[in-house]
Structure 1
């Protein structure tokens, strides 16, 4: 499903969609209220009805349009609806968000913690510029429900078998155009190849622009 932040159907244009009108868990609604969100932005109103039903979404959206909340709400709601009932190993991520820069990854992590504050979900951020041993200790203390990071650091932890993507439920690629510009597409592909096949996971991708290279990814 390809969605643009410029798209506004008649219903969205005439009547703003409230988060409370979406089929969201009470814990998540409380987190959304804590973030002072009431109405969906156009990209949220266009994408959430599909992503909350498990559909793959490719969204064309600029920074500042609310795309981060769109994919985080999708992730949190899915994990709340489908709690782990069997054995879950440390480092075994249920959802992963790939971001092109450490600053963006850290910001996404902060946003995720606000939205998930009334849940028991564990959020881990893996980026360069931080002592990897410190990050490893954090992974060893809590299960990994939502993993957010830059491609290089995530690959390092994957190769050392400190994180695992074999039971991944949701894959998010944020700012795919910047990934391409910064030369991260080969690393992104390596990470994707370690995840379950597309039919066994949900995929969300957001980008300000789309090239043939991004479409192939």
Structure 2
């Protein structure tokens, strides 16, 4: 919970895009640990599921951020604006990745965070779960404030309207599929694998 709490002030007063994503990773490591701490079949299932979901959403976010920082030649948030105009594909996927990483439905992170919250309420950890929910809302607000500023607005005159390259743009669609698909549907085989891992972590036999 402390790991999640630490990210709140840094997310609200951030100026560096890559650093903002790094603090987001600190938050999600805290969420995974919280799921393990809550324990039980559901808590451990949510924690393991969140590991996978975070890896996909954060990979997507870092790939889009990489394209953006190369295009604008800066990691400073105040120097980046109008991404949707200069890089229409990257800009749209950047918005999706930001909504996904902050736990917005119907994307994959929402499913695992909701699972951990449900485990918290079911196991009687009401106060911890409510505080967790409050932190998630604050982090969503802080991160989306900066993301919206970068995505919309007027683009700098010196930045031309063009994607970085075909390959760097095409690479975005690999994690994007997982971010969207696993938010809407968890394949039975994948569900079984996550469930078996949770059983092993709980001390049972797979």
**More strand per residue: 1 or 2?**
1
Q: Same fold (TM over 0.5)?
A: no
| Larger proportion of helix | 2
TM normalised by structure 2 equals 0.30
User: Rg bigger for which structure?
Assistant: 2
Using CA pairs under 8 Å that are at least 6 residues apart, name the structure with larger relative contact order, 1 or 2: 2
TM-score by length of 1: 0.29
